[in-house]
Amino acid sequence: MFTSAFLEECGNGKLRHEEQLLRSEFERRGVPVVLYTAKRIHRRQLPLSRDTFIAGDVDAMHGAMRQMGIEIPAPHDYPACLASFMHRRVWPSTLGAVQHQVMEGGRSSVFAKPSSRSKSFTGRVFDFMDDLASTYWKSMTATPSAPIKSPPAPTPTCC
């Protein structure tokens, strides 16, 4: 049984739907509920232990895992057992390979998203060079009127 429950709040005591449900259930069971902000978890201000329950977004959970000395697992967004439900082929690639495919016209379109937890760009469908431009211009010295002369860093992606 848990001695207390820590639930991440959005600010001013506001909870997302899942945290609201958890709060109701913990209160029904008589487990004390403490609300926290992401800042508190990253500053290691919560007294976490094996007897405490914690809920929040991925960053908060990673902060809690680091505090408790638990290794953060590699992302596994597309498990093989769910492949039949994806209704598309999924493969590892790089943003440079996606750029090459779009430039060569090898595919009509390709969906790509970062495969690491660091969100270097938002997952999207790439059809034309303009789609690549909106992903690269923010981080490169290129401009929309000047083409990308060399492939970007090999950002790992899932396509």
How many structural domains does the chain have? 2
Residue scoring higher pLDDT (157 or 65): 65
Rg (CA), the chain: 21
The pLDDT of residue 95: 79
Same structural domain for residues 45 and 99?
Answer: no
Residues pairing with 93 in the sheet? 157
Last residue of a domain, one of 38, 67, 96: 67
Last residue of a domain, one of 42, 67, 92: 67
Percentage with pLDDT > 90 across the chain: 38
Residue scoring higher pLDDT (41 or 131): 41
Same structural domain for residues 84 and 144?
Answer: yes
State pLDDT tens for residues 73-111: 887 778 888 888 888 888 888 877 887 777 777 557 888
* Of 146, 71, 37, 159, residue with least CA distance to 110: 159
Residue scoring higher pLDDT (111 or 40): 40
pLDDT at 133 over 70: no
Element (DSSP H or E) covering residue 137: none
Same structural domain for residues 51 and 96?
Answer: no
* Of 141, 147, 114, 155, residue with least CA distance to 128: 147
Q: Which domain does 112 fall in, by range?
A: 80-158
* 89 close to 153: Cβ distance less than 8 angstroms: no
* Of 71, 72, 89, residue with least CA distance to 80: 89
Same structural domain for residues 10 and 48?
Answer: yes
Same structural domain for residues 113 and 50?
Answer: no
pLDDT at 72 over 80: yes
The verdict on residue 72 lying in a domain is: no
The pLDDT of residue 53: 96
CA 30, 36, 38, 42: dihedral to nearest 10 degrees? -90
Q: How far apart are CA 82 and CA 58, in angstroms?
A: 21
The pLDDT of residue 120: 66
The pLDDT of residue 33: 97
Residue scoring higher pLDDT (23 or 118): 23
Same structural domain for residues 63 and 85?
Answer: no
pLDDT at 29 over 80: yes
Tell me the average pLDDT across 4-33: 94
